[in-house]
Amino acid sequence: MRRGAEGPEIWLRGPVADTVEPALWPEPGGDEPGHLAVGPRRFAWVATHGGAGTTTLAAVFGGHDAGRNWPRPDLGEPGSVLLVGRTHAAGLDGVSHTLETFRRGEAPPGLDLEAVVLVADAPGRLPRPLAQRVKVIDSMIDVYQVPWIPGWRIGDLTSAPPRETAALARLTGGPRLP
């Protein structure tokens, strides 16, 4: 969500080009800047409740693990926020509450809400009431879902994330998937 001078104006879905900070590189063999080189975007993973999975996601996909704190762009932390929550009822409540904080313009200045990342709380399909809540969230902002990964439960982050996380990997510039 982008905020104007008076507060929230609209919800924007997906990455916005003006959030990338270009760097000028000199022309080969010359001293004048000529080409724009765009580096990977930097994100802060923000947990919407305890145990959301920000530490694991930051370890696997890169980025800043802000935990349950707001990132501080004034201290060099990324201002692009990925909200993280589990797919159980309490997790979706936390996500909804934090989205409402952004909608009301009550998030700290300098933060841009990029997307929501929902981490499966159990293997298998979501029960219908939870799936309906995910649809409501997805109608407001991009949602990336991370399936249940048994190895992550025991702390094994060595294997490549599953194909279902390919879109999240592209967004974050994280690991290349098979």
Secondary structure letter of residue 144 according to DSSP: E
- Write down the H helix ranges in the chain: 54-61, 89-103, 128-140, 150-153, 166-172
Q: At 1, is the pLDDT very low, low, confident or very high (cuts 50, 70, 90)?
A: very low
Q: What's the pLDDT at 176?
A: 67
Say yes or no to pLDDT of 175 above 60. Answer: yes
Cβ neighbours for 121, distance < 8 A, ≥ 6 positions apart: 86, 87, 88, 91, 148
Per CATH, is 41-172 categorized as 3.40.50.800?
A: no
| Mean pLDDT, rounded, of the chain | 84
**CA-to-CA distance for 54 and 21, rounded, in angstroms?**
24
Q: What's the pLDDT at 166?
A: 94
**CA-to-CA distance for 134 and 140, rounded, in angstroms?**
10
Of 18-22, 93-97, 154-158, the one with minimum mean pLDDT is 18-22
Which tokens sit at 126?
């979501």
Q: At 39, is the pLDDT very low, low, confident or very high (cuts 50, 70, 90)?
A: low
Sign of CA dihedral 87, 62, 170, 37: positive
Share of the chain above pLDDT 70, in %: 75
Q: What is the pTM of this model?
A: 0.77
pLDDT digits (tens, 9 = 90+) for 11-33: 445 444 444 444 444 444 444 45
Residue 92 CA: distances (Å) to CA of 18, 98, 118, 130: 29, 10, 8, 8
**Looking at per-residue confidence, does 42 or 98 come out higher?**
98
What are the extents of the domains in the chain?
41-172
